[in-house]
């Protein structure tokens, strides 16, 4: 009998250990982490996040996924976590073709490449916030998130004429409702994307034609294009991408010119 009682008590303790995290998660749905994903544009169809389960959360907190799908506008964005020797060439191409862009930078990048950050701003581009230390922002407190954002904003303001910073891209595209709400309170619009491909690994570059095809096959009105400046392929394909997109009637615009978000 005693043995049965101990077994029952043991099972009850085990059940309590299992149920508690589930109850906590249900009580705090804003802590649920998501990794941004989307259905790619194909054969002229628009991309979609309807299947991903976080559409309503992005809408609620004013996050950007794409622009007005009735306008043939393109918004070019780069993630700059570290420098791989290609950003200067990218800036040359953008300057020559008068294309505005936004570069999301980390604290490491600002400290390591101050001249390039200065050049981004002086040539009319926006510098966005990619966090100071590139953490999983769903695993830090709101105070820690604020500190991450303030440090980047302050460093860029001390270095350039850009004194305000209003666009944020979460590291690795990982987010939850809590960080969306907290960063919005700090004045940020979270920027995701509707065109992207695996370009962030310098060890797996497949040539400029591959980069060109991956991007051009996904073009659509209101596209927010995510590229990584560490990619040799992107750099070599950049000029042709821009020229051929314009031949198709697309116009490159700054995120500050985005008037409407369509999901």
Active site residues: 79, 228
Measured in whole angstroms, the distance separating CA 8 from the mean position of its chain's CA atoms is 50
What angle, rounded to 10 degrees, do the helices at 232-247 and 208-216 form? 40
Query: Residue 163 CB: number of other CB atoms within 10 A?
Result: 10
Spatial separation of the C-alpha atoms in residues 61 and 48, rounded to whole Å: 18
Name the DSSP class of 8. H
Spatial separation of the C-alpha atoms in residues 89 and 91, rounded to whole Å: 5
Query: Residue 5 CB: number of other CB atoms within 10 A?
Result: 9
Q: Which backbone phi and psi does 90 adopt, to 5 degrees?
A: -60, -45
Coil, strand or helix: which one is 135? coil
Name the DSSP class of 212. H
């Amino acid at each position: 009998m005693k043995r049965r009682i101990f077994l029952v008590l043991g099972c009850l303790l085990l059940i309590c250990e299992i149920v508690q995290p589930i109850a906590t998660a249900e009580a705090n749905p804003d802590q649920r982490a998501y990794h941004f994903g989307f259905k790619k544009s194909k054969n002229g169809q628009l991309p979609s996040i309807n299947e991903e389960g976080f559409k309503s959360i992005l809408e609620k907190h004013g996050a950007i996924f794409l622009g007005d799908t009735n306008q043939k506008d393109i918004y070019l964005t780069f993630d700059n976590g570290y420098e791989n020797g290609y950003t200067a060439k990218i800036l040359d191409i953008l300057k020559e073709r008068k294309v505005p862009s936004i570069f999301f930078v980390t604290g490491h990048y600002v400290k390591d490449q101050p001249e390039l950050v200065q050049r981004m701003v002086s040539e009319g581009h926006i510098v966005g916030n990619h966090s100071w230390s590139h953490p999983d922002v769903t695993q830090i407190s709101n105070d820690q998130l604020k500190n991450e954002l303030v440090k980047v904003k302050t460093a860029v303001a001390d270095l350039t004429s850009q004194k305000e910073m209003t666009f944020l891209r979460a590291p690795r595209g990982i987010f939850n409702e809590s960080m969306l709400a907290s960063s919005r309170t700090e004045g940020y619009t979270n920027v995701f994307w509707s065109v992207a491909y695996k370009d962030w690994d310098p060890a797996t570059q497949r040539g400029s034609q591959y980069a060109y095809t991956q991007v051009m096959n996904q073009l659509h009105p209101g596209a927010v294009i995510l590229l990584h400046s560490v990619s040799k392929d992107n750099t070599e394909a950049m000029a042709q991408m821009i020229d051929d997109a314009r031949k198709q009637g697309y116009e490159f615009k700054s995120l500050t010119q985005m008037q409407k978000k369509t999901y």
